[in-house]
């Protein structure tokens, strides 16, 4: 099994083991290319009274997706320690009537170099990540920004 596929399966297993709300939401880790991570969840477990995706569920998916990218990149860079979310911002742009699919791209190479330096010099590195959820017509339903800290243990 290629390394990226193993990393994806480990991430999914971790989420299922440690986060009851991820289990309840039916979170699946769908794809990891090294540059992009895709995480999804079924509508029925995340629906609201209007038959669309619930705002709390959309945030839950996004915060997990960005956490996942932080965890994957931290492991690739050899940064050990706890990862904590410091801040989240979400804009709801249009209702979503189908499966919730969130995607996040990796910080660019220059940012990863800065992250690694910061971890080594200060024992702390910050990941700033943007997650998008598109609808079936590929229009954005949600834009999320999250700030995560990796704290050297």
Tell me the closest approach of the beta carbon of residue 144 to a copy of itself, in angstroms: 9
x/- contact string, 77-96, with a copy of itself (CB under 8 A)? -----x-xxxxxxxxx--x-
Exposed / middle / buried, residue 146 (Cβ in 10 Å: 0-12, 13-18, 19+): buried
Pair 41, 27: CB distance under 8 Å:
yes
Cβ pair 102, 61 in contact under 8 A: yes
What are the φ and ψ backbone dihedral angles of 48, each rounded to 5 degrees?
-120, -170
Pick between residue 25 and residue 150 the one whose CB is nearest to a copy of itself.
25
Instruction: Single out the residue of 32, 54, 119, 127 in contact with a copy of itself (rule: CB under 8 A).
Output: 54
Q: How many residues in the shown chain lie near a copy of itself by CB under 8 A?
A: 35
46 touching a copy of itself, by CB under 8 A:
yes
* DSSP secondary structure, 74-96, as one string: HHHHT--EEEEEEEEEEEE-S--
* Residues within window 55-74 making contact with a copy of itself, judged by CB under 8 A: 55-57, 59-60, 63-64, 67
Q: Is 98 in the site for a copy of itself (CB under 8 A)?
A: no
> The tokens of 124 are what?
């702390």
36: its two tokens? 């992009």
Cβ distance to a copy of itself smaller for residue 59 or 127: 59
Check residue 2 for interaction with a copy of itself (CB under 8 A). Answer: no
Tell me the C-alpha distance between 125 and 36, whole Å.
20
Q: Give the footprint of a copy of itself on this chain (CB under 8 A).
A: 14, 18-22, 24-25, 44-50, 54-57, 59-60, 63-64, 67, 82, 84-92, 95
């Amino acid at each position: 099994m290629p390394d990226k596929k193993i990393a994806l399966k480990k991430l999914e297993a971790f989420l299922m083991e440690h986060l009851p709300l991820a289990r309840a939401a039916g979170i699946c880790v769908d794809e990891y290319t090294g540059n992009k991570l895709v995480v999804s969840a079924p509508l029925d477990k995340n629906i609201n009274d209007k038959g669309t995706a619930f705002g709390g569920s959309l945030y839950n998916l996004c915060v997990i997706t960005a956490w996942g990218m932080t965890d994957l990149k931290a492991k690739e860079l050899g940064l050990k320690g706890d990862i904590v979310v410091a801040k989240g911002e979400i804009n709801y742009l249009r209702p979503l009537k189908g499966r919730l699919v969130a995607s996040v791209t990796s910080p660019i190479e220059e940012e990863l170099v800065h992250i690694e330096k910061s971890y080594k010099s200060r024992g702390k590195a910050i990941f700033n990540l943007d997650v998008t959820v598109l609808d079936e017509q590929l229009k954005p339903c949600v834009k999320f920004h999250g700030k995560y800290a990796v704290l050297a243990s």
